[in-house]
A and B are shown apart, each in its own frame.
Chain A
Amino acid sequence: MKGVIFNLLEDAVSAEHGAEAWADLLDLAALDGSYFSLGSYPDAELLAIVDHASIMLAAPPAQILRWFGQRAIPLLAERFPPLFGHHKSARSFILSVNDMIHPEVRKLYAGAACPRFHFHDTDDGRLAMAYQSRRQLCHLAHGFIDGAAAHYGEAITVDHLACTHHGDPVCRLALGWHG
């Protein structure tokens, strides 16, 4: 996992729960916590932080991840304005993840293991998004979608049609726009 994700999480936690909360999470997880955005760190460290946040806040890790995704979007928009500026809608932004966002990520973080999303329109007019990754961070993706909706001032409902956490081979999210 790239250091930048830890940095974003630190910023999100500190903003919502105060600087001490981040320090506490690191202590609880027994991590030294020096994350350089371009560095690579074990996925387990991120999961450990999430787990301890889950315990501290008495909320399931899925909810923590979704919250993180949601909060990370404005922080990302602050760090990488061009990725957002070229889109007029959340749909266009979300659809650009494979071809624009992840290529940009790979430019900065050589060897970054970015997931690939498969998009298609569903019969009921929603946008289906299939996700398969050993990291199983579908809830983080969900949070990113929430954040993108907020960024572009739209309302999107996300249904988890299938999930690897429930034994499905892939995660499938259905995105429905309102209004």
Chain B
Amino acid sequence: MKHEAFPLPLDATPADAQTVEKLRRLLEQERRARRDAEAIAERGLRELYESQVRLALLQRITDFANQSNDFGAVLDMALKEICVHMGWDFANAIRVAEGGREAVACNTWYAADPKRLFPFVEVSREFTVPRGEGLPGRVLRDDHPHWIDDIADEAWFHRRREALQAKLLSACAFPISVGEEMVAIIEFFSSKPMVDKDNILLTITQAGTQVGRVIERERARAALLHDALHDAMTGLPNRVLLDERCRAAFQHLPADRTGLAIMVIDLDGFKAINDKYGHHAGDALLVDVTGRFEAAIVAFQQSSGRAGHATLARVGGDEFVVLLDGLPDPEAAERLAALLHDVLRAPTQVDNDLVNAGASIGIAYSGPVYDDVEQIRRDADLAMYEAKGEGSGRTVTFTDALGTEARNRMALERELREAIRDKQFVLFYQPIFALGGDRRLMGYEALIRWQHPTRGLIDPGAFLPAAEESGLIVFIGDWVLRQACTALARLHARMPKGSGEPPFISINIAPQQFLQPSFAQQIQRVLAETGVPPDCVRLEVTEGVAIIDADRTRQVLEEIRDWGVRTSLDDFGTGYSSLSYLQNLPFDTLKIDRSFVASIDDPKSRNIVRAILDLAGSLNLSVVAEGIESQDQGRTLIEMGCEYGQGFHLGVPLDEKAAFALVDERRAA
């Protein structure tokens, strides 16, 4: 703006004119300086104002976003706040769907004047556009904001007619991204021009970041939840999620509680593969097996239209569970089990070897007898153990009989624990004699009995299998060992010195007990504590220990024999009776099984006994015949050259007092 020169008085001199002109220039300079200063101040004030208002807006959105876990609610709030802040008419949220191929309006919108905008809201709140089409489609395609300055000019804009009806003029749309991924688009419409685009861009981009954080948190939470409910290695549901699904499925059963089955799957030989090839191989096997099981389940569900719903879960090291609900027929679970066995037939490559992992499967069906799903789980578990007992690759479906048997076994197991705790076991001693000549008493075999509080004295055959199965045999075996040695020490103590060769004690050792890593030390400790001469202790083992781990069996036998302890191979002739065991394992004695003695009248049995005696002779082993029940049997064995024997005919098992009294009788005789 130019200002007119001040008019000069008529009598002004040229010098006056010059002075006025100078002052005019100075004034003009000052005026310009002031204008510049004002412009700078205005710019600063405008920026300050805008950033304050923007920050206040962002603060509101951020606060809300931080308090809410609901992406929809946060979007809703942000749309409204931005619209009001900008003085715009309409805002709308569109979710990115189909992996970024589509933009889907999600009925989240704000309208300043809903009545006027009604037709536009109607076409905007729910629609789907492919990538590249319409305003949100373009944002999705280009991953940057889009602007429309005059909707009337943009024929490509789908909702143009309705927008113009609503007197909308301008629009803009922005992506909301989480990391690299666009998750939503927000679009805004105004009946006025959108002027300050830099400011709008800055504001909405920052607001979008805050809104995106909700999704980020939503995803982090979902990931945590997923991790908490799934097995990390296979990605399958874990025990927690399975429990939840089981409970939910059980609750939805009809009144007769049919239609659900639980299948417990245990991989056979997994531990051996893990031990042999290492954990990485075991893990790879589990992942491979998981893939096969999943494929089998898909095939199962496709095989019939109404195959129900199946959840495969990994609940332990090598244990899987399938929850089947909505079962079409009573045999469906067995069909799936057969498919699962099938898919395991092809070997898995582990390192450079091919290994086979079979499975044992137990199935239990729901029914009116069940009060909760846990009981079904337990029964399926029980059936699985039953299947495992039958060998690899079996399926067993739970039945009431199985349940009764298992319950009895469990009750027995419980009683055995009480028996160990309350010291209800007693040892009986059966004398072992030299068969020839004076029938000298050589020693005793310690035999366990259970002094049951209500059922009286129980023979070992009635409880040792259960003890072995439950692992309690280890505790019982330790007790027998210590008890027998202590008793022998008492016997030795009351025998006068120089009264001849002291009797030995023969103690049965169960395979599980023998294979305890600390077994040899345990023997050593008992010997030291009881003070019995090691050569008066005979440990009887069966071939079973050698079958499980021949190398270790040999090492242990050698170690305890080094201390002078004697070793017997029990029940010889009944199992594999492998000659290689006899050759490789250090035994002192063979015990001929009672079954050969009982049928010794049969020439076949006699031949076997003779062969055993020959074998023992050539390997320099002594022989004890078990179960001699008649004079004839004893005589036949003597004739065949069997040195030692035990049995009812010679002496029944007796309690300690009666058994050890025999020593005195002998001496007295």
Contacts and interface: CB of A to CB of B under 8 A. Distances in A.
Interface stretch (B3-11, B101-109, B125-133, B654-662): B3-11
Contacts of A103: 87
A15 B195 contact: no
A42 interface: no
Interface in B41-64: 41-42, 45-46, 49-50
B7 A18 contact: yes
Interface string B188-224: 0000110110000000000000000000000000000
A179 interface: no
B1 A18 contact: no
A168 interface: no
B50 A37 contact: no
B38 interface: yes
B309 interface: no
Nearest to B37: A36
Is chain B's binding surface mostly helix, strand, loop or mixed? loop
Contacts of A96: 192
Contacts of A14: 1, 3-4
A20 B50 contact: no
Contact of A108 (B6, B45, B196): B45
A86 B195 contact: yes
A107 B1 contact: no
A37 B42 contact: yes
Contact of B50 (A11, A15, A100, A107): A107
A86 B193 contact: yes
Contacts of A31: none
B5 A19 contact: yes
B141 interface: no
B604 interface: no
B407 interface: no
A87 interface: yes
A32 interface: no
B6 A19 contact: yes
B34 interface: yes
Contacts of B49: 106-108, 110
A18 B3 CA distance: 7
B1 A38 contact: no
A78 B6 CA distance: 24
A153 interface: no
A37 B1 CA distance: 15
Interface string A102-121: 01101111100000000000
B4 A38 contact: no
A172 B46 CA distance: 32
A38 B42 contact: yes
Contacts of B38: 36-38
Interface in B250-279: none
Interface in B1-36: 1-7, 34
Contacts of A104: 46
B193 A18 contact: no
A99 B193 CA distance: 11
Contacts of A18: 4, 6-7
Interface string A20-42: 10000000000000001110000
B87 A107 contact: no
Contact of B3 (A19, A82, A109): A19
A53 B45 CA distance: 33
A75 interface: yes
Contacts of B2: 15
B1 A75 contact: yes
Contacts of B193: 86-87, 100
A7 to B, nearest CB: 8
A82 B197 CA distance: 12
Contact of B46 (A15, A36, A75, A108): A108
Contacts of A36: 34, 38
B384 to A, nearest CB: 74
A102 to B, nearest CB: 11
Contacts of B6: 18-20
Nearest to B150: A88
Given A37-B38, A38-B38, A11 B195 contact: no
A100 B190 CA distance: 12
Nearest to A18: B4
Nearest to A16: B4
Nearest to A4: B38
Interface in A140-156: none
Contacts of B34: 36
Contacts of B87: 99-100, 103
A104 B1 CA distance: 22
B404 to A, nearest CB: 85
Given A86-B195, A99-B87, A108-B46, A15 B1 contact: yes
Contacts of B1: 11, 14-15, 75, 78
A78 B87 CA distance: 25
A14 B3 CA distance: 6
A84 to B, nearest CB: 11
B5 A108 contact: no
Contact of A100 (B4, B5, B192): B192
A108 B42 contact: yes
A36 to B, nearest CB: 7
A122 B87 CA distance: 25
A100 B6 CA distance: 39
Nearest to A15: B1
Nearest to A37: B38
A15 to B, nearest CB: 7
A14 to B, nearest CB: 5
Nearest to B194: A86
A10 B170 CA distance: 38
Contacts of A19: 3-6
A108 B44 CA distance: 9
A103 to B, nearest CB: 7
Interface string A123-138: 0000000000000000
Q: What are the 4 tightest A-B residue pairs by CB atom distance, in nearest-first order? A: A86-B193, A107-B49, A18-B4, A37-B38
Given A19-B3, A108-B49, 8 more contacts: A20-B4, A20-B6, A36-B38, A37-B38, A82-B196, A87-B193, A109-B45, A110-B45
10 contacts: A19-B4, A20-B4, A37-B42, A38-B41, A99-B87, A100-B193, A107-B49, A108-B42, A108-B49, A109-B45
